């Protein structure tokens, strides 16, 4: 029992000696921690600013469901035949399709290639605010304004998807899209072109579908002698004609811009103060731990020759 008490006292004395030795090295610890702090400031300042632009979109009237009120025997016949004459939804099908399409691999790749965004997404390293010029690394040929390599589809997709965020607010029925880049002007440009492209893309698909449906339904009317079916087909033609007319007159086929994209004044990242605090704090802890272990091993060697 006395032997265990003696060991406990020795352990307590060892710990006390370690803290005394750390205190005796306070100037060394302070000096090294200060160097780490200065290095963290230099590192934080070397990280380029990233700016985030945002756009808020609402569903366009042309993207809403076209409801056709057909009741009675004709409506029952349509339901039995499995023909959709319209319905209501809190989120229109074309809006759902557009949101999914924006983050799809094929759309991302086609969008980047169409607008020649490869250098800005794959080779940019910063932004010169004085000249409003994007800075590039050695993979970019400034004279030819193109990359020195051919990026893969995966590289194009990741360079785009890692910078964009798309969310749908179920309460307000609004779509929020943000895009991050070193250049705030480029971030704004991408969002503006993105909305134009997705509206055009969905519009062209639905226009083609509506026109094909009109031709098909007109042929069906010519083939049938059933008046109720002719009525249903005429209603479907009416629905498709409405889609065509809305698409032709409204460029904002899916999304209407509620709050346009803007050039952000303030950076979204990095948080340089937090970076400096974390690096300096971890540096101090690692240094103190290393010295404490060194002193502990030194004391053990001295007590057990």
State pLDDT tens for residues 160-193.
Answer: 999 999 998 888 889 999 999 999 999 999 999 9
pLDDT at res. 24:
82
Q: What is the pLDDT of residues 245-278, one digit of tens each?
A: 777 777 777 888 999 999 998 888 888 899 999 9
pLDDT at res. 303:
63
Q: What is the mean pLDDT of residues 37-45?
A: 92
pLDDT at res. 88:
42
pLDDT at res. 76:
46
Specify which of 7-11, 24-28, 93-97 reaches the highest per-range mean pLDDT: 24-28
Residue 292 has pLDDT above 50, yes or no: yes
- If pLDDT is split at 50, 70 and 90, which confidence band does 217 have? confident
- If pLDDT is split at 50, 70 and 90, which confidence band does 154 have? very high
* Average pLDDT taken over every residue of the chain: 80
pLDDT at res. 201:
87
Residue 237 has pLDDT above 70, yes or no: yes
pLDDT at res. 87:
46
pLDDT at res. 238:
80
pLDDT at res. 299:
67
Q: Choose the weakest-confidence range: 87-91, 253-257, 288-292.
A: 87-91
pLDDT at res. 182:
94
Question: What is the share, in percent, of the chain residues with pLDDT greater than 90?
Answer: 38
Residue 126 has pLDDT above 50, yes or no: yes
d(CA 191, CA 242): 29
- If pLDDT is split at 50, 70 and 90, which confidence band does 209 have? confident
- If pLDDT is split at 50, 70 and 90, which confidence band does 93 have? low
Q: What is the mean pLDDT of residues 76-87?
A: 46
């Amino acid at each position: 029992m006395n032997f265990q008490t003696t060991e406990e006292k020795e352990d307590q004395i060892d710990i006390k000696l370690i803290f005394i030795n750390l205190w005796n090295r306070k100037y060394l610890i302070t000096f090294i921690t200060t160097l780490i702090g200065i290095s963290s400031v230099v590192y934080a300042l070397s990280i380029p600013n990233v700016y985030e632009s945002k756009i808020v979109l609402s569903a366009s009237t042309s993207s809403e469901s076209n409801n056709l009120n057909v009741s009675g025997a004709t409506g029952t016949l349509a339901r039995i035949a499995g023909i959709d004459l319209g319905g209501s939804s809190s989120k229109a099908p074309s809006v759902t399709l557009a949101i999914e399409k924006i983050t799809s691999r094929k759309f991302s790749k086609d969008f980047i290639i169409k607008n020649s965004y490869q250098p800005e997404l794959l080779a940019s390293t910063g932004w010169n605010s004085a000249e409003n010029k994007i800075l590039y690394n050695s993979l970019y040929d400034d004279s030819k304004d193109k990359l020195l390599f051919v990026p893969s589809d995966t590289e194009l997709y990741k360079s785009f998807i890692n910078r964009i965020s798309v969310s749908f607010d179920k309460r307000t029925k609004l779509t929020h899209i943000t895009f991050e880049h070193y250049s705030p002007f480029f971030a704004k440009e991408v969002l503006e072109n993105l909305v134009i492209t997705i509206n055009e893309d969905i519009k062209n698909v639905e226009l083609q579908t509506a026109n094909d449906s009109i031709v098909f339904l007109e042929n069906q009317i010519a083939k049938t002698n059933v008046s109720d079916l002719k009525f249903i087909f005429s209603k479907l033609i009416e629905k498709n004609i409405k889609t065509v007319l809305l698409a032709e007159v409204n460029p904002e086929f899916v999304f209407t811009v509620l709050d346009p994209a803007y050039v952000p004044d303030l950076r979204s990242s990095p948080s340089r103060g937090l970076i400096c605090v974390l690096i300096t704090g971890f540096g101090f802890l690692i240094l103190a731990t290393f010295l404490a272990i060194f002193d502990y091993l030194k004391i053990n060697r001295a007590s057990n020759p």
